[in-house]
Amino acid sequence: MPVVEATALCGARSSIQFIAHDPAADLAALGPLAERCGRFSPWVGWDTLGGRGAADWQESKFAGLTLLESPSALLLDIQGIVSHFGDEAAFASEVQREFCSAGYEVVLGLAETIGAAWALAFADEQNFPETSTNNVRLSPPLNWQQLPIELLRLLPETTELLHRLGVMYIDQLLRLPRQELPARFGSLLLRRIDQALGNVAEWVVPYRPVPKWEVERRLDYPLTRRDILEEILQQLLSQLGALLRQQDLGAMQLECRLAGEGKSLRLEVGLCRPSASPQRMWELLRLPWERTPLVGPIDRLELRVLRTGRLSSEQRELFIDLHDTSEPHDLIERLTGRLGKEAVGRPLLRAEVLPERSFQVRSLTGGNVARTVSKDRKKPKPAATLFASEDPQPPAGWLPWQRPLTLLPPRAIQVRCEPGGAPLLLGWSAGEEEVVRSWGPERLETGWWRGRTVRRDYYRVETAAGRRYWLFRNLVTGEWYWQGSF
Amino acid sequence: MSTNATVELLRQQLAARETPPAAGEALVVPSGCEGFDRFLPDGGWRRGSLVEWLIPGAGSGTLAFALATAKTLWSSGSVVIVDRRREFFPPAAAAWGLPLARTILVRPANEADERWAWEQALLAPGVAVVWGTLDRLAPRDFRRLQLAAEAGKAIGFVFRPAERRGEPSWSHVQLQVRPTASGPTRTNERQPDRWRWQVERTRGSGGRNKIEVEIDEAGNAREVTPDERAVPVRPISPVADSATCPFPA
C-alpha cells in the first residue's frame, strides 16, 4: 500500500519506520535460500513478472534491478520427491521448518503446474478455508476461476489495462476471445493463461550458485605485527588474482576479514573497473587497512570477491596518457578506499520539489547496483535517468540565480515583512540587515501522496550590504527560515 | 651584478624550471570575461595552480562569481568538489553550467581526510578543477597542495574565510570578492537581475589589483566600465564585513 495509507492506518504517533525496497538486496539474499532448498529438490529456481529466471542471474547483469525483475517466489520441481518425505503434508512441513530456521515464514503452494502453484501461494487465505492449513495450499479451491487475475503472474500494466476494462477475475478473462488477446495485451498474457491451465509446458530453470572467489589463511599462532599480516595479505591477493585471471574475471568489490580470539575486523573496497592485479588491489586495500586498528591477535585472514566483472572490458593502455580527460577511475577508487563508498559519488538530480530532496549522490565503485526507488510499480524508473542520463540538467527555465549554491539545513530567523509578505528586515543573532530587493514568492509544496504536506514560500533577498540569501516562510506555521546563500 | 640583472637571472632560472605544457594544451585558460582576464596575472586561469578566494561572509556571491568565470575549464576534464560541510547544492551548480556527469562529489568526515582528498584530486590525471572550502590550512599543507597542483596540472579553487588574509599562502593568485547592491530601490517587481562585485587581487603579480565585475541573470560576466561605475549605486555598507553575519560562509 502507499506510504501515506500506511501512515494513516498506524496513526500519527506510531513509530512506524519506512525502508526503501532494495530489489538487488532481495536477490542477493535469495541465492543462499535457493541453495538451502537443494535438499528438497535438485531443481530450484525462480521466475519474475518480467519473465527473467534464475538462469539470467549474473551479478554483472543486475545493475539497475527494478521491481519488475525482482523474484517473488522460489520454484521447486518436486516430481518423484515427495514420497521420500512421506506425503505432501510432511514434505511441506519439512520445507517450512527449514525456512523457519533461517528466520523466514513461507507460504507454500503445491500444484501440477508452476502457474497454478504460484497462484496458490499468492492467493489470499480466505480463498482456502478447507484445504489450506498453516500456510500450505495443497490443492486449488473449488472456485479457483473466481480468483483475481493478478495471480496469473501478469505484468502490472497488463493488469491495470484489464482492470480498466472491467476484467477482475480469471473466469472473466477466460471468456474473452482468445485469438484477440495477444494483439491487445501482448503475447505474455496468453502464455500465462496456458501455463496456469497446464496447456503449455513450463520448467523450473535451476539456479546455479556463482562461484565463490575467496582465499583464506589460518595461522599456527596469532599475530599482531602489521608488517607480517600485510605480507600475508599480499600473498593472498596474488592467489586471488591468479584465480580470477583463469576465468578472465576481475574484482569490483573486495572484502577482507581478519579474525582472532572471537573478534573480527572487516574491510571493504570497491573498484570502478574490474582488476585482477594484486598490486592494484593491495594499493586500494591498504588505504582502509592503514587507518584501522587491529581488534587483537589475528589467526585467520580471508579475502573474498563480492562482485566481479569481465577483465576483457578493462581498458589496457600501454602508455598512460596523463592528459586523458576520461573518468579518473584511479582517483575514485583511492578516494573510496580511504573515505568509504558513501563519501564519494556523483550527484544526480531528482524530480523533487523540496530542495533538500532534489538531488542524491550515487556511489561510483563496487559495481554498485543503482537503487531504484520507485513507488509506482507500473512505471519503474532508474533514479539515474530522471534527467538526461549523459548530463543531468536542472529543470527547463532555471536561471543561474534561481537557486543558491550553498544549501543549509533550514535555520529559524526573525523576519519583518511587508503586508504582501516580502521580507523587509532580517534579524540575525548579531544584528539586523535591511532588505533592499527581493524576488518571490516561489511556492514549493509537496503533494498529498508524500505524506505530511510541506508548503513553503521562498524568497531571494538582497540586503543593503549586497548580500543575497534564500529564505522561506513555512505556510503552515508562519515561521521564517534561512536555507541558502548565493 | 646589479639588482635588475639579478632579478632577471632569477626570473630566467624560474622559467627554465617550469614544466612545459603538453602539446596541444594551453597553460592558461581564459575566463570568458576579457576584462577579468586582463586583471588576472597570467591573462586567465593558469593550469597547475591554486586560486585562493577569500569570502567575506555568507551571501557574498563568491561561489557564483567563481562559477561564472570558470565555465571555460569544465570541458578539459573532471571536476572534483570536496565538500566536507555538505553544503554544496548540485542543482544550483548545474544551472551555472557545471557538468554533473563529470563531477565527483567528495564528502570527507574530517579535516585530515579533507586535505588528503584535495591532494589526491590535484595530483590525479584527468582532473581539470578541484573545488572546495578549506578553512584552516597550515603553511606546510598549503605548500603540499601547491606542489600537487603543479604536478597534476589541475586548477584548485580554494575558498577560505576572509579572516585568513595575511596568513602565509602558496596560492598563485588570491582574490577577495565584495558584493555591491545591485539596485537603488526596493521592489518586488520582476527586474532583470544583475550582481556586481569589487574584486581585489591580494596576491599575484600583474597590473592593477582591483576591478569591478557584473554578472547578469544568464550568468555572463563582464567588466564594469569607469562610466558605469560613475552611476550611483548603493555603496557597500561600512559594516558589511564577515563579522555582521554570524554564520560562516
Nearest CB among B90, B185, B196 relative to A359 is that of B90
Nearest CB among A347, A398, A431 relative to B105 is that of A347
Contact B246 A429 (CB under 8 A): yes
Sequence letter at residue B138: A
Give B5→chain A minimum CA distance, Å.
37
Give A482→chain B minimum CA distance, Å.
11
Structural contact between residues A112 and A192, judged by C-beta atoms closer than 8 angstroms: no
| Whole-number pLDDT of residue B17 | 52
Contact B180 A335 (CB under 8 A): no
B contacts of A435 (beta carbons < 8 Å): 186
| Whole-number pLDDT of residue A388 | 30
ipTM of the complex: 0.81
pLDDT string in tens for chain A (486-residue length): 667 777 777 776 667 777 777 766 777 778 788 888 888 988 888 876 665 555 554 443 444 445 556 677 888 888 888 888 888 888 888 998 888 888 888 888 888 888 888 888 888 776 665 555 667 777 666 567 778 888 888 888 888 889 888 998 888 998 888 888 888 888 888 888 888 888 888 888 777 766 678 999 999 999 999 999 999 999 999 999 999 998 899 999 999 999 998 889 999 999 988 999 999 999 999 999 998 999 899 999 999 998 888 886 544 444 444 444 467 989 999 999 899 888 999 999 888 888 998 899 988 876 543 332 233 333 333 333 222 334 556 666 677 888 999 999 999 999 999 887 889 999 988 889 999 989 889 999 887 655 677 899 999 999 998 899 999 999 989 999 999 999
- Nearest chain B residue to A435 by CA: give it: B186
Question: For B208-229, how does the pLDDT look when each residue is reduced to its tens digit (9 = 90+)?
Answer: 789 999 998 888 888 988 777 6
Q: What is the pTM of this model?
A: 0.67
| Whole-number pLDDT of residue A395 | 65
A contacts of B60 (beta carbons < 8 Å): 466-467
Report the alpha-carbon angle A189-A111-A51, nearest 5.
35
Contact A391 B99 (CB under 8 A): yes
> Is the pLDDT higher at A194 or at B52?
B52
Percent of chain A with pLDDT over 70: 78
All three cell numbers of B170, joined, read 602558496
Question: In this structure, what are the phi and psi dihedrals at residue A103, rounded to the nearest 5 degrees?
Answer: 90, 20
Contact B104 A335 (CB under 8 A): yes
- Nearest chain B residue to A439 by CA: give it: B188
> Cα(A333)–Cα(A276) distance, rounded to whole angstroms?
14
Sequence letter at residue A192: R
Q: B174 falls in which pLDDT band (50, 70, 90)?
A: very high
Nearest CB among B59, B88, B94 relative to A469 is that of B59
- Identify which of B77, B85, B133 has the alpha carbon closest to the alpha carbon of residue B107: B85
Measured in whole angstroms, how far is the alpha carbon of residue B225 from the centre of its chain? 22
Q: Is the peptide bond before A141 cis (omega within 30 degrees of 0)?
A: no
Contact B125 A321 (CB under 8 A): yes
| Whole-number pLDDT of residue A58 | 45
- Nearest chain B residue to A393 by CA: give it: B94
Structural contact between residues A311 and A368, judged by C-beta atoms closer than 8 angstroms: no
Measured in whole angstroms, how far is the alpha carbon of residue A162 from the centre of its chain? 29
- Nearest chain A residue to B93 by CA: give it: A405
B contacts of A384 (beta carbons < 8 Å): none
Structural contact between residues A154 and A192, judged by C-beta atoms closer than 8 angstroms: yes
Question: What is the overall mean pLDDT for chain B?
Answer: 83
Give A233→chain B minimum CA distance, Å.
25
**Mutating which of B53, B55, B106 best tests the A interface, going by the most A Cβ atoms within 10 A?**
B106
All three cell numbers of A348, joined, read 544526480
All three cell numbers of A455, joined, read 508548503
Q: What would the 3-class secondary structure string for chain A be?
A: CCHHHHHHHHCCCCCCCCCCCCHHHHHHHHHHHHHHHHHCCCCEEECCCCCCCHHHCCHHHCCCCCHHHCCCCEEECCCCCHHHHCCHHHHHHHHHHHHHHCCCCCCEECCCCHHHHHHHHHCCHHHCCCCEECCEECCCCCCHHHCEHHHHCCCHHHHHHHHHCCCCEHHHHHCCCHHHHHHHHCHHHHHHHHHHHCCCCCCCCECCCCCCEEEEEEEEEEECCHHHHHHHHHHHHHHHHHHHHHCCEEEEEEEEEEEECCEEEEEEEEEEEEECCHHHHHHHHHHHHHHCCCCCCEEEEEEEEEEEEEHHHCCCCCCCCCCCCCCCHHHHHHHHHHHCHHHEEEEEECCCCCHHHCEEEEECCCCCCCCCCCCCCCCCCCHHHCCCCCCCCCCCCCCHHHCCCEEEEEEECEEEECCCCCEEEEEECCEEEEEEEEEEEEEEECCHHHCCCCEEEEEEEEECCCCEEEEEEECCCCCEEEEEEC
| Whole-number pLDDT of residue A116 | 83
Give A376→chain B minimum CA distance, Å.
25
pLDDT of residue B49 exceeding 90, the answer is yes
Nearest CB among B96, B236, B246 relative to A428 is that of B246
> Cα(A228)–Cα(A299) distance, rounded to whole angstroms?
12
A contacts of B92 (beta carbons < 8 Å): 394, 400, 402-405, 407
**Mutating which of B82, B100, B113, B199 best tests the A interface, going by the most A Cβ atoms within 10 A?**
B100
Question: For B117-160, how does the pLDDT look when each residue is reduced to its tens digit (9 = 90+)?
Answer: 999 999 999 999 999 999 999 999 999 999 999 999 999 999 99
| Whole-number pLDDT of residue B176 | 93
Nearest CB among B89, B94, B236 relative to A466 is that of B236
Contact B87 A400 (CB under 8 A): no
B contacts of A466 (beta carbons < 8 Å): 60-61, 178-182, 195-196, 234, 236, 240
Report the alpha-carbon angle A24-A27-A32, nearest 5.
140
Contact B219 A399 (CB under 8 A): yes
- Identify which of B174, B223, B189, B175 has the alpha carbon closest to the alpha carbon of residue B38: B223
Contact A348 B126 (CB under 8 A): no
- Nearest chain B residue to A421 by CA: give it: B188
Question: For B98-113, how does the pLDDT look when each residue is reduced to its tens digit (9 = 90+)?
Answer: 999 999 999 999 999 9
Which residues between 183 and 222 in chain B have a beta carbon less than 8 angstroms from any beta carbon of chain A? 183, 185-188, 190-191, 193, 195-196, 217-219
The 3-state DSSP class for residue B78 equals strand
| Whole-number pLDDT of residue B22 | 46
Contact A465 B244 (CB under 8 A): yes
Give A332→chain B minimum CA distance, Å.
8
Q: Which helix (H) or strand (E) holds B210?
A: strand B210-216
